[in-house]
Amino acid sequence: MHETARASLDVVARHLDHVLRTNEIPDYPGAMNGVQVEHDGPITRCAVAVDASLRTIEAAISCNANLLIVHHGLFWGGSQPIRGRIFQRVRRLIAHDIAVYASHLPLDLHPTLGNNALMARALELTTSTGFAHFQSIAIGVMGDADVETVTLAARCDALARREGGQLVAVGATPQRRTRRWALCTGAGASSDTVRVAAAAGVDTLIVGEGPHHTAVEASELGIAVLYVGHYATETFGVRALGEEIEHTFGIPWTFVAAPTGL
């Protein structure tokens, strides 16, 4: 028989803030990285999910978790009255003593726990440098390869399908080879990332999602774009945080799948 591991929210949050450099990494105001909701605790089980939604909160309740770790926190929409679905989220969290910890860009760019680093590894790509900056900080990664673009696209599609999505590949024509790639998870494609990719000699851009015009612009520049899905590309980091907490504190964790198909 073994004792159930537990730790206080303060201790776990301090550890995560340190590992993720939460206070040093700039982010969008709505990200509100760190503890978003407190609880009485102590933590006995973590649930990790991409989004803080009613669906993931219900799943956290079902698996008896009292810490929910997310990539997209409760405040993406900015200041809002605590009414309707927002009220339902807050009410469910407090009624079940569930704390919420969010990590957006600090988790995207982390060299060992981050969405970008782990997705590159899952695609069998070796990173050489950073790509796609927010303020002064590189969020994505890039590197050199020598692989058929359709082979890379097939790896991306397998990854997307594992997470309930599917790949949209633009310009991945047969026989074409990927020699320099760049990756930016989530909403990674923009006119800016396409322009930066072209300037860096990137021939294949791998992203979560992006607007239609990014496909048009990339085609004109001879860049293939693999849109793997916002959700699918951001399941890596929160899982890594679950493992990190189990490894450090012995607290068990559960990944809550809540794909949107996007």
Chain contacts with Zn ion (rule: CB under 5 A): 186
Residue number, 140 or 186, with CB nearest to Zn ion = 186
Q: Phi and psi for 6 in degrees, rounded to 5?
A: -150, 155
Residue number, 156 or 172, with CB nearest to Zn ion = 156
Token pair, residue 93, equals: 């969290």
Cβ 8 to Zn ion, closest distance in Å?
A: 29
Cβ 82 to Zn ion, closest distance in Å?
A: 23
Q: Are strands 67-72 and 46-51 parallel, antiparallel or unpaired?
A: parallel
Cβ 185 to Zn ion, closest distance in Å?
A: 7
Residue number, 34 or 186, with CB nearest to Zn ion = 186
Cβ 230 to Zn ion, closest distance in Å?
A: 6
Secondary structure class of 230 (helix, strand, coil) = coil
Residue number, 188 or 242, with CB nearest to Zn ion = 188
Contact 213, 191 (CB under 8 A): yes
- Contacts of residue 124, Cβ cutoff 8 Å, sequence gap at least 6: 155
Cβ 148 to Zn ion, closest distance in Å?
A: 29
Q: Phi and psi for 205 in degrees, rounded to 5?
A: -110, 125
Q: Phi and psi for 194 in degrees, rounded to 5?
A: -65, -45
Residue nearest to Zn ion (CB): 186
Contact 110, 71 (CB under 8 A): no
Residue number, 45 or 72, with CB nearest to Zn ion = 72
Strands, DSSP E only, in 73-151? 99-102, 129-134, 137-148
**Identity of the residue numbered 127:** T
Cβ 235 to Zn ion, closest distance in Å?
A: 11
Residue number, 107 or 251, with CB nearest to Zn ion = 107
